[in-house]
Structure 1
Amino acid sequence: MSAPRIPLLVAQLPDTDALIPYLRQIDSNRWYTNFGPLVLQLEQRFAASFAPASLAPTAITASNGTAGLELALCALELMQGARVLLPALTFVATATSVIRAGYRPLIGDVDADTWLLTPETARAYAARHRVDAVMPVATFGNPQDVEAWDKFVEDTGIPVIIDAAGAFGNQRVGRRCHVVFSLHATKALAAGEGGMVVSYDQQLTSLVRRLSNFGIDLERGSQVFVAGENGKLSEYHAAVAHAALDQWPVVVERRRAVQARYQHILQQYCPELRMQRRAENGIYPILVGLLPPGYRARELQPALLARGIETRQWYCPTLDRHPAFASFAVGPLPVAHELAERLIGLPFFVDIDEEQMQRVAQALAELTQVTSKQGAYA
């Protein structure tokens, strides 16, 4: 008899009872989209999560995280074809948002320990290539250093938008760099779909608002001066996000507890499985490990699946190895390419239990020992 399947992810969204108070507000308001009261309240709550009201940045909703990235990029008002530096190790939406905004991606390498595109790396690329903007990623929820990016903006004049899709709860907002979050069902704070652009730049956030409503300028006769898109968030998605924020403190504690226990078990069974260098008390939506040198994730995955364990190679292949983006690499990408071979996404969700964590860790330990003896991945 085969072992029960361990899923890779189980989305954690508010249940019906948690939504009812907000759905009743929608029924009462009879306002369903176009910057309704729940959307505006959500923006205020989101902004207040970063600082008290008088010091808080501005948060602008978007229909999803990718739309948020595209809107923020367009709000930079760069010339057509401007070059935006981004990491090779990221989800494809990072690159597609650049192209859809009318710009050209420049795909760069990442740090071997944090797996991030860092300010130091960006400075090195900017010294050798024309870079008009940078879009670093909070990879796997690992936050970017906003003080360092603020200094980068101050020193170079190059604008920075942080793609923090899955990093709510970890990623802070800089004074000079802008941040975009996703509320997709797979994130720790989930509304099914949704995005949020957060910035201290009032001019940028005002333009993001207009662009998300087709570019219509309500203050100047409802004319369009810069073409936008329909990137608005509905009241229904806002209702789910409100309920998710209500539950956020409990979710944080549960995720931290599961994460700490899981990593302890993995360390016991697989001490050579390396983890991303990141804050231990962060809130992460997924769990990704780096296999020891010589092991390839794609060759381990079938054996794990045969044991009922779902895995995934997050962000692999790297951006430059997708046909749509192959021409945008800036020189060799040795770190990203090495990581892409060895990174493996493991089952991780709030309700994963001790027995499932033990099964994953034991299977990894047994398979790596067997393959080590056979030299299958040499």
Structure 2
Amino acid sequence: MFDIYLDSPNLSDLEKDYLLRAVDSNFVSTLGPFVPEFEEKFAKYLNVNSCVSVQSGTAAIHMALYELGIGAGDEVIVPAITFVATVNPIVYCGATPVFVDVDANTWNIDPEKIKGAITSKTKAIIVVHLYGNPCDMNTIMKIAGEHGLYVIEDATESLGAIYKGKYTGTIGHMGCFSFNGNKIITTGGGGMIATNDKKRAEHIKYLVNQARDNFPGYHHSEIGFNYRMTNLEAALGLAQFERLDEFLSKKQLFKKIYKDVFDGIEVIELQKEYTDAISSSWLFSIKIDTKKVKKTIPEIQDKLKDREIPSRRIFKPIVDMPPYLKYKRGNYNNSYDIYERGLNLPSSTLNEPEGIEYTAKSLLEILGI
């Protein structure tokens, strides 16, 4: 029998070595050499001018919005299906989230819906590369350019994903990454902001350190934030970063196995990728024709659980959550359909190919195929 993992982190002796080096150096908090090294290596990998490490993906999105001047009276367009951390920072800034439906095939924000949601108050668009699948960035950037809007990429789930030769998180004005324990690489918590605007990056780096000036003593000329990454976290991140290619290769292998097993199965629909886009496949996700198989997603999950196979439902549309009910407008038909019929399958790099194949074939048996 296989041990099967949904999205657990993959840690090794390399991570232990890096963490011990950080402890032995006595730099365990926000000072230490591993933080700038992690930022520099991340920027080089993405081929951007600057990266700034922060405490979480949420903090990254918050600081991106804040640095771009998003505030009271502004509107920010977001997809109705995403993790709530994409949206909360908009409210932190005093701005208004404007939810739009997603594309039925890619599950990402629908560019046509973006066009219909733009008003005189619109200041920015947050795109989410859902489950690692790149958005239609060329179309979105064109729309943004025509209306003078900022584009923030929520790339928290898509490290290593590629859109037309560029990494996600490098195409908009700011890209935000997460290193939570379940992401492709982890620092335990942590996040990163990527941008080609060096001036803004330097200002963010200043802000996340409580906006502390270089004068003697403690002098702060702006309202700052305690969003710095620690040296311990960066040490873990550097070790994980050395293994990124290994992790991404495994994700692609798992995707191939799932695709091969599900090929030709009419009741299963895969999350589709745009032309010239490669998903990082952070979580391999499908839609099931629940009417034809006569089973709900929770019922299917229970059957998987009986076989010790973990799974997760697709994100619930945020417009149905109590804090955001007042922002609900229009229709979100695709978002509801994806939520009602969608399922995340085991994708952790701790898995072995045999476990992924077992998962896929078990699902077919549960569906009566």
Range class of TM-score, shorter chain: 0.7 to 0.9
The unaligned stretches of length 5 or more in structure 2 are 162-166
After superposition, where does 1:148-163 map in structure 2 within 5 Å? 148-163=139-154
Please, which moves more after superposition, 156-165 or 172-181?
172-181
Shift of 1:92: 1.0
Paired positions, count: 359
1:11 match? 9
Matched, 1:307 2:287: no
C-alpha distance in 2 between matches for 1:227 and 1:76: 15
Matched, 1:102 2:94: yes
Q: Which amino acid aligns with 1:137?
A: V
Shift of 1:354: 4.6
Contact 2:126 2:154 (C-alpha < 8 Å) held by counterparts:
yes
After superposition, where does 1:122-201 map in structure 2 within 5 Å? 122-126=114-118, 130-170=121-161, 171-174=167-170, 176-201=172-197
Matched, 1:283 2:275: no
The equivalent position to 2:76 in structure 1, one of 75, 84, 87, is: 84
C-alpha distance in 2 between matches for 1:193 and 1:184: 4
Q: Secondary structure at the match of 1:136?
A: strand
Contact 1:214 1:228 (C-alpha < 8 Å) held by counterparts:
yes
1:375 match? none
The equivalent position to 2:20 in structure 1, one of 17, 23, 28, is: 23
C-alpha distance in 1 between matches for 2:307 and 2:62: 41
Provide Cα deviations, 1:107-166, integer angstroms capped at 9, x if missing partner: 111111111114433122115x74221111010011234443432332111111111101
Indicate how the Cα distance of structure 1 residues 308 and 34 shifts in structure 2: closer, same or farther if over 3 A, else same. closer
Please, which moves more after superposition, 103-112 or 254-263?
254-263
C-alpha distance in 1 between matches for 2:188 and 2:269: 31
The unaligned stretches of length 5 or more in structure 1 are 371-378
TM-score between both structures, scaled by the size of structure 2: 0.88
The equivalent position to 1:245 in structure 2, one of 218, 241, 246, is: 241
TM-score between both structures, scaled by the size of structure 1: 0.86
2:336 match? 337
2:269 match? 274
Please, which moves more after superposition, 76-85 or 143-152?
143-152
C-alpha distance in 2 between matches for 1:231 and 1:225: 17
Q: Which amino acid aligns with 2:52?
A: I
Indicate how the Cα distance of structure 1 residues 363 and 122 shifts in structure 2: closer, same or farther if over 3 A, else same. same
1:235 match? 231
2:164 match? none
Contact 1:146 1:174 (C-alpha < 8 Å) held by counterparts:
no
Contact 2:257 2:357 (C-alpha < 8 Å) held by counterparts:
no
The equivalent position to 1:66 in structure 2, one of 47, 58, 62, is: 58
Q: Which amino acid aligns with 2:98?
A: L
Q: Secondary structure at the match of 2:46?
A: coil
C-alpha distance in 1 between matches for 2:250 and 2:55: 28
Shift of 1:5: 6.6
Please, which moves more after superposition, 343-352 or 218-227?
218-227
Contact 1:83 1:104 (C-alpha < 8 Å) held by counterparts:
yes
Indicate how the Cα distance of structure 1 residues 123 and 7 shifts in structure 2: closer, same or farther if over 3 A, else same. same
> In percent, how many aligned pairs have the same letter?
24
Matched, 1:42 2:34: no
Q: Which amino acid aligns with 1:9?
A: D
Q: Which amino acid aligns with 1:273?
A: I
Please, which moves more after superposition, 163-172 or 98-107?
98-107
Provide Cα deviations, 1:161-183, integer angstroms capped at 9, x if missing partner: 11110111014344652110001
Indicate how the Cα distance of structure 1 residues 174 and 234 shifts in structure 2: closer, same or farther if over 3 A, else same. closer
C-alpha distance in 2 between matches for 1:176 and 1:356: 37
Indicate how the Cα distance of structure 1 residues 150 and 177 shifts in structure 2: closer, same or farther if over 3 A, else same. farther
Indicate how the Cα distance of structure 1 residues 361 and 79 shifts in structure 2: closer, same or farther if over 3 A, else same. closer
